[in-house]
Amino acid sequence: MTAAKTAGECMVERMVADLAEHQQVEPDARYRELFGVAAEIVDGIGRIKELIAAKGETITLKDGRLIMHPGICEIRRQQAALVKVLNSMNLDGLGAKNPVKQARRMPGGSRTTRPRPV
């Protein structure tokens, strides 16, 4: 019996399928590794959400004060890390011409507005 796929594995499968469908690109080893990191982050977020659902969004300290569950802050940190990992992959430009080089071309045959060294 096979184990059910995690949310991270499902996300990676959708992204790889989307790349193959729209850009006709198969991710290389670097991208596969980054996809693995992204999947781990998504799975970690899921585990934290389950913990918060079980214990509640607030925690009572020994002195009776209520505080926000620390997992909520951790989810925010993990979401920021996920965004960084996905942005580092530059998926919009994968398989296409370098968008930075395309943006530097200027009308009239000029490639850039920077002065060239003499």
Distance CA 70, CA 55 (A): 11
When divided into structural domains, the chain yields a total of 1
For the chain, give the number of residues.
118
8-25 pLDDT, tens digit per residue, is 999 999 998 988 888 777
Of the pLDDT bands very low, low, confident and very high (cuts 50, 70, 90), residue 53 is very high
60 is in which domain, residue-wise? 7-109
In this structure, is residue 80 part of a structural domain?
yes
pLDDT 10s digits, 61-88: 999 999 999 999 999 999 999 999 999 9
CB-facing half-sphere around the CA of 101: CA atoms within 13 A: 4
Residue 13 lies in a domain: yes
| Strand residue runs (E) in the chain | 58-60, 66-68
Assign 65 to helix, strand or coil.
coil
Whether residue 115 lies inside any domain: the answer is no
